[in-house]
Structure 1
């Protein structure tokens, strides 16, 4: 399934929220942001929910998906000699790659928090008694 419109987003509220940090080199390029968001939301589902849609998504899920979408945009196309690669797009390759690294670290941290909270809630079998 391919995202055709902003209404297809599951966790990220708006393409205007992307990128999470740094310069918005894709302002007005909704297609690029939607493609990144689709991949990021699928990646989040694969990483924290066995590839299944997350039923009770939280702000952490939205921020994690946004961080990964931002990472995908900052790293650019996969081919290192492509004119749109992270080293050339926007004219400041080192800064662009720094932003990519930063948002990827944010994604990993949030993913770890989500996985930790899911593990805690699934293992809590104690009853609260007054």
Structure 2
């Protein structure tokens, strides 16, 4: 009886561990760091691209490249985020970004997707 309980417990632990591991990958979010912007690009109607000036953004989801990040226009508050980015660009201030996943870019590689963005002093 003890060995049956031990095997069931081990199975539950393995199952929970797998679920947690897969769910953290599926919903991976992370800091993109604090960067100065070199450009704000509007290469299409559906998205905006922010380009880092000196160092790449952090890349928590392992996208192909991270010198640029993408903001989908459908994202809640996209216009406000664009305003923040333009203000930071003109004022030469850093922005902080929180990223969530990767998306195809118009340049043929994936880049991180902006979840939130803020300006730093």
Q: Which has the larger radius of gyration?
A: 2
Q: TM-score normalised to the size of structure 1?
A: 0.22
* Structure holding more helix per residue: 1
* Structure holding more strand per residue: 2
